[in-house]
Structure 1
């Protein structure tokens, strides 16, 4: 019994850890997307300031080129994190399923114990009732 309780605690810890990891990945994706959006705004602002939107133009602002490169890197990183996010989600779902199995086993065992205890109590009550009836 103690072993299963320890195992359930371990599985709950693993589920919590997987949730935390998934949350961190989601947070990183959101942060990368936010930063990429800010760079997009800066690029547009620089293009409007200079009046040149053609990246191939010889006078295209260096800052805009560098910001576009950073933005693209951030978007690529966010895209790569989506793969990690899917794996983390799958791992979380697997951990939850494992936890559920152990919790169901524990619940089944507890139900058996309750049923056995109820049967024993009923037998005691029946015995007491039988003695009382015999005394009459």
Structure 2
């Protein structure tokens, strides 16, 4: 019984840890996407300022080219993180299922113990009632 309580605490800790990992990856993806979006705005502003939108033009702004490379790298990193996020979400789901199974076993055992205790109490009451009826009948 005590070991199962320890196991339940361990599983809950593991679920919490995996939930934190999922949230951390989601926050990193959101941050990379936010930074990429800011770079997009800077690229458009630089194109507007220079009047050149053709990337192959010889006078295309160097800053805009560099910003595009950074933006593309950020989006690539965000996409890589999506793979990690899928794996982390799957690990979280698995940990939740394991925790639920152990909690259900614990609930079933507690119900079984309660039922056994109630039956023992009822047997004791029946025995007392039986003695009383025996004494009154005699």
> Partner residue of 1:109?
109
Number of aligned residue pairs: 136
Say which SS state the counterpart of residue 95 (structure 2) adopts: helix
Q: How does 1:82-121 map to 2 (within 5 A)?
A: 82-121=82-121
CA-based RMSD of the aligned residues comes to 0.7
Aligned to 1:2: 2
Once residues 59 and 132 of structure 1 are traced to their aligned partners in structure 2, the CA distance between those partners, rounded to angstroms, is: 109
Deviation at 1:15, TM superposition (A): 0.3
Provide, for residues 66-86 of structure 1, a one-character-per-residue CA deviation record: whole Å limited to 9, x for no partner.
Answer: 100000000000000000000
Structure 1 residue runs of 5 or longer lacking an equivalent are none
Taking the aligned partners of 2:44 and 2:132, their CA distance within structure 1 comes to 95
**TM-score scaled by length of structure 2:** 0.97
Structure 2: 5+ residue stretches without partners: none
**1:70 and 1:135 mapped to 2: Cα distance?**
95
- Output the CA distance in 1 between the equivalents of 2:122 and 2:53: 87
CA distance in 1, matches of 2:23, 2:114: 39
Shift of 1:135: 2.3
Over 4 Å off, 4+ runs: none
Alignment of 1:30-49 (within 5 A): 30-49=30-49
Per-residue Cα deviation, 1:75-122 (whole angstroms, up to 9, x for no partner):
000000000000000000110111111111111111110010010011
CA distance in 2 between counterparts of 1:68 and 1:135 reads 98
The corresponding residue for 2:126 is: 126
Q: Counterparts of 2:107 and 2:100 in 1: how far apart (Å)?
A: 10
The residue aligned with 1:72 is 72
Counterpart mapping for 1:49-60 below 5 A? 49-60=49-60
